Amino acid sequence: MQKIFKILFVVILAIGGLCACDDKDKGSTQPLRTSVVTLSKSSVGIGYEDSSFARVKVTVPRFGWRAETDADWLTLSPDSTQNVGTTELMLFATGNTDAEPRSTVVTIYSGNVKGELKVTQVGYGQEVNDVKHPDGNANKWMYEQLQVWYLWNDLLQGLYPDYDCSYDVFLDNTLIPLKGNELDGGRYEDGSRYLYSYVTRAASSRAAVGYPAFGFATLSAVGADNNKVYLRVTSINPDSPADRAQIRRGEYISRINGLDITRANWMTMYNRLLYPSGGSVTITMMESSEVNGDFYFNEGRTVTLSAANIGNNPIVAAEIVEHDGKKVGYFAYNSFQRGPTDSSIDYDIEMEQAFEMFATEGIDGLVIDLRYNGGGSVSSCQKLLSMIAPREKLGTVAFTLRHNASIEPQLSDDEKNISLLEDYADANVNMSKVCVIATDMSASASEMVIAGLRGLDVAVSVIGSTTEGKNVGMDVMSKHIDGYDYTFAPITFQIYNAKGYTDYQNGIRADYTVDEWEDLRSNGWRPLGDPEEVMFQMALTLIGGSRTQATRATETVAVPAGFERLRVYDPRRESGAKVWPNDDFTRR
């Protein structure tokens, strides 16, 4: 073994010597210094008109660079520079009177390395189209909208985006490297960044009546040891296939159609349950229990569900509970979604009916449960606030939305200000104090409820944990491109309450900390709206006059090795969005 090591060592030295010789200039004993040439594009197109031009960014870490071409119809400016870092290279073409395109290669040298740029000038009367990727036209449309609507559109000046990538990574590639748009998103635990701006696409628009669903209103993913992931049922749509199969809040799912849920496939499995295209699914339930301080998962029953065209109603509970001689209204709301389709307002109508019931019964207290609510339509948030706030506040401004400097002067006061709606006076419960249940999953329009009520001098007690911290929102726009329907929602405005407060980008802290995840048992959670459910119990304790911590129904159990909650995202959720459904391009 020792001899083998010696032989290998000699071979490596020999190879290293060869590499060193290759790195030397002929006739010199000194190695050439190495640079890198990075181009913002690998190819560009130029119009046929005289003086048509294109621009490319050239980045080098040392030595500067020089550019050369053998085409007499193309002028380079500058053709060389000693500057390091990024420099803009302009390419000017003389007019092309021929019907055929012409092309050349520009070579950029820096030190002993080079980069090549293909330049094509279209033929007479033709249009430039340098988008080659199948998603390129969609990416180009998104970038055009960003230049107009993005809250930080000034950061895009002089930017040359790469359209030759898939639509679902284009935003990350374009927006994450920017400096100054940090409010558009947050950071994962490993420090990497995610965006709030998003794009989705579908082969066709959502069905006219609802869409297929199994009845899982919300799910949370939890990772365990041995690479396993379990999906915990956090809320159920009433009278749905899952509800009728007696699947309950707190239970875990370990397999779907016989396949284990793992860290590699859990997001696919999550989407399979929440957003099915139809058909049926067989799921394996897991029982979880605590024995002598240790936590165990055990395989339980198997359930087969058939999808029903019911959508996902965000209102999972709306009821009145008697507590300490007081009538308490409880409203559990999973997203600010106006209806099961983009053009319907069925869920808004159902929300209004729930508050009309509260108003008719004359509730003494109100609990708004937004623990799983990541946001949604600003108009639904506006309606909810109009039904909660003191009646004398109806008609007054609850929020101001600040846009970028180029859009702001074009907007009317009604477009910039969100006022409470007097049309909802019959459903208004006239609250001066409200309890809001919120967690780190509560974001955007959910946070608007808390900040908005406080801006209207309503005393809000937040129960749960610190919220996400999304004080910005988006306009949602759509377009049909190359056979797909794209929905694009860039961040376009920042939210200020009636007192001008917007500084909750780090989240809104809970006034009373309660964590339902301290109970990991599959049968440890009560249904939403149950007076003994741990977070609702705290709210009832506060409304009843006590300011002490609620008594826990169960004791904390030992967390299993490797157990962690995984971040999930609802692609159907328009988080903190203004939606303009009658336009298929932009709202203007």
Q: How many Å apart are CA 154 and CA 406, to the nearest integer?
A: 9
Reading the chain (588 residues) residue by residue, the pLDDT tens digits are 443 333 333 333 333 333 333 333 434 444 445 688 999 888 888 888 888 888 899 999 888 999 999 999 999 999 999 999 999 999 999 999 998 899 999 999 998 899 999 999 988 877 676 667 889 889 989 999 999 999 999 999 888 888 889 999 999 999 999 999 999 999 887 888 999 999 998 875 544 457 899 999 999 998 877 788 999 999 999 999 999 999 999 999 999 999 999 999 999 999 999 999 899 999 999 888 777 767 777 888 999 999 999 999 999 999 999 998 999 999 999 999 999 887 889 999 999 999 999 999 999 999 999 999 999 999 999 999 999 999 999 999 999 999 999 999 999 998 999 999 999 999 999 999 999 999 999 999 999 999 999 999 999 999 999 999 999 999 999 988 888 899 999 999 999 999 999 999 999 999 999 999 988 888 889 999 999 999 999 999 999 875 544 444 344 555 666 667 776 655 444 556 665 433 333 332
Q: Which residues contact residue 92 at a Cβ distance below 8 angstroms, ignoring those fewer than 6 apart?
A: 51, 52, 53, 74, 75, 77
Give burial (CB, 10 Å; 0-12/13-18/19+) of 279.
exposed
Which residues are within 8 A (CB) of 240 and not within 5 positions of it... i.e. 6 or more apart? 213, 214, 215, 308, 310
Characterise 576 by phi-psi region: left (phi > 0), alpha (psi -120 to 50), beta (else).
left
Closest C-alpha to 287, from 232, 245, 234:
232
Residues in the chain: 588
What 3 state SS string does 458-489 have? CEEEEEECCCCCCCEEEEEEEEEECCEEEEEE
Q: Which region, left, alpha or beta, applies to residue 9 given φ > 0 means left and ψ of -120 to 50 means alpha?
A: alpha
Domains of the chain: 38-121 (2.60.40.10), 136-185 (no CATH), 216-306 (2.30.42.10), 315-516+524-555+574-579 (3.90.226.10)
SS3 165: coil
At which residue do the structure tokens 């936590």 appear? 295
Q: Which amino acid is at 314?
A: P
Helix (H), strand (E), coil (C) string for 475-534:
EEEEEEECCEEEEEECEEEEEEECCCCCCCCCCCCCCEECCHHHCCCCCCCCCCCCCCCH
pTM for the full model?
0.76
Quote the CA–CA distance of 82 and 550 in Å, as a whole number.
Answer: 69
Q: Which of 161, 138, 313 is nearest to 238 (CA)?
A: 313
Q: Where do runs of H (alpha helix) occur along 155-256? A: 167-175, 241-244
- The token pair at 342 is 């983009």
Single out the residue of 576, 281, 544, 355 nearest to residue 435, CA to CA.
Answer: 544
List CB contacts of 81: < 8 A, sequence separation 6 or more: 64, 65, 66, 87
Cα separation of 439 and 514, whole Å?
9
CA-nearest of 223, 305, 220 to 264 is 223
Q: Please report, to the nearest 10 degrees, the dihedral formed by the alpha carbons of residues 477, 479, 484, 488 taken in order.
A: -20
How is residue 97 written in tokens?
């009177």
